[in-house]
Amino acid sequence: MAPVTEVASAPLPEVVAQQIPRNLEGRTALITGGSRGIGRGIALKLAERGARIAITYVAHEDAAQQTVEAVKRHDTIGTAIYLDVGDRHQIDRGIDRVLQELGPIHIFVSNARTEIPTFYATPFSITAEQWNTAFDTQPTAFLHAVRKVTEVMPDNGRILTLTYGTGSRTGSWQPWVAMGAAKAATESLVRYFAVALARRGITVNAVSPGFIDDSVVKSLPEVAQKMISDWAGSGWTPMGRLGTPADIGNVVALLCSDEASWITGQTIYADGGASIVMPELPPALQQG
C-alpha cells in the first residue's frame, strides 16, 4: 500500500456576514394573523427583504402594533388591521383597505387560526359550532380571500397558506379532528387554485411547519409543552428541536422569491425532518 501523504490544510477564509437581499422591494404582503408567533415571524422576514407589510389581528392589538414597529425597523412600511377571517365581509373590507393604503397586493399569506378552545374536541364530543368554526376560519376563509385578493393581485404574485400536514393525514391526535379536516380541505384548495392561477404566473402553496415554539404549542398546558419539546429533542424531530417562527418566515420568503416561480400546488413540510421519521421504530434505531 502506498504511504499516505499528508496535505497541509489551507487556512479557512474569514466568515463574511451575508447581507439579506431586499428582493421583495416594492411589493406588498398581506399576512392574516400576523401579530404573534408564526405570522409575526413571516411578517418580519418579508420586511427584511423590503416588502411593505400589512398584518391582521383580532384579539391582540398591542402585539400587532409591536409587530408593526418591528417591521418598520427594517426600513419599510407596516400597518395592522382588525380582521376576523371568519367573516367574509371583513375579508373584503380588509383587502380593500390594504389596497388603499399600500397599493396592489403581491403576496397573500393565510395564517390566521381561531383559538384552540373554539374547535379543540374529540370526534364524539365536538359540537356543530366548533366544527363550523374550524371550517369557517380555514378553507372557507381561504376560498373567499383568494378569490377577492386575486382581483387586485398583479400577475406573478404569491399565495401561501399555513397548514399542519401531519394532522391532515393522521388521526391519533383526536381533539384535532376539526382543524385536521379543515386543513386537509385547505390543502386541496391550494391545488385547485394553483391550476386556476398558473397562467397568470401566480403560485399557490401550503407550508406545514410541524411544531413551532411560540405558536399553538404555547396555548397548550405547560406539561404538554414540555412533553412536545422533550419529544422533539429525543430524536423524533431529527434536528433535535422545535422550530421557530423565523424558520417558517425563511421558508415563506423563499417561496415568495422570483426563483420559486416554478413551485406551485405543493405542501412544503418545514418541520426539521419530523414528517420523515418512522413511527414504527424508536429514533435510536433510525439514526445509525
User: Which string of DSSP letters, residue by residue, matches 172-195?
Assistant: SSGGGHHHHHHHHHHHHHHHHHHH
* Residue ranges covered by each domain of the chain: 28-213+245-272
Cα–Cα distance between 254 and 278 in angstroms, integer? 28
Range in 7-16, 162-171, 220-229 the model is least confident about: 7-16
pLDDT at 213: 83
pLDDT at 288: 61
The CA radius of gyration of the chain, in Å to the nearest whole number, is 21
pLDDT band at 215 (very low <50, low <70, confident <90, very high): confident
Range in 18-27, 219-228, 256-265 the model is least confident about: 219-228
Cα–Cα distance between 231 and 137 in angstroms, integer? 30
pLDDT at 258: 97
pLDDT at 49: 97
Helix (H) or strand (E) holding 274: none
Range in 192-206, 230-244, 248-262, 267-281 the model is least confident about: 230-244
pLDDT at 179: 95
pLDDT at 11: 52
Q: What is the mean pLDDT of the chain?
A: 90
Q: 127 — phi, psi (to 5°)?
A: -90, 165
- Does 79 have pLDDT greater than 90? yes
Average pLDDT for 37-56: 97
pLDDT at 10: 46
**pTM of the model as a whole:** 0.90
pLDDT at 287: 72
Q: 184 — phi, psi (to 5°)?
A: -60, -40
Which residues have a Cβ under 8 Å from the Cβ of 13 and sit 6 or more positions away?
Answer: none
- Does 57 have pLDDT greater than 50? yes
2-43, pLDDT tens digit by residue?
444 444 444 545 544 568 889 999 999 999 999 999 999 999
Amino acid at 118: T
Coil, helix or strand at residue 76 = coil
Per CATH, domain 28-213+245-272 is 3.40.50.2300: no
- Does 216 have pLDDT greater than 80? no
Average pLDDT for 165-170: 90
Coil, helix or strand at residue 144 = helix
User: How far, in Å, are 71, 142, 147, 199 from residue 150 at the CA level?
Assistant: 25, 12, 6, 13
Could you tell me which residue, 283 or 120, shows the higher pLDDT? 120
- Rounded to the nearest angstrom, the gap between the alpha carbon of residue 41 and the centroid of all alpha carbons in its chain is 9
pLDDT band at 152 (very low <50, low <70, confident <90, very high): very high
Coil, helix or strand at residue 1 = coil
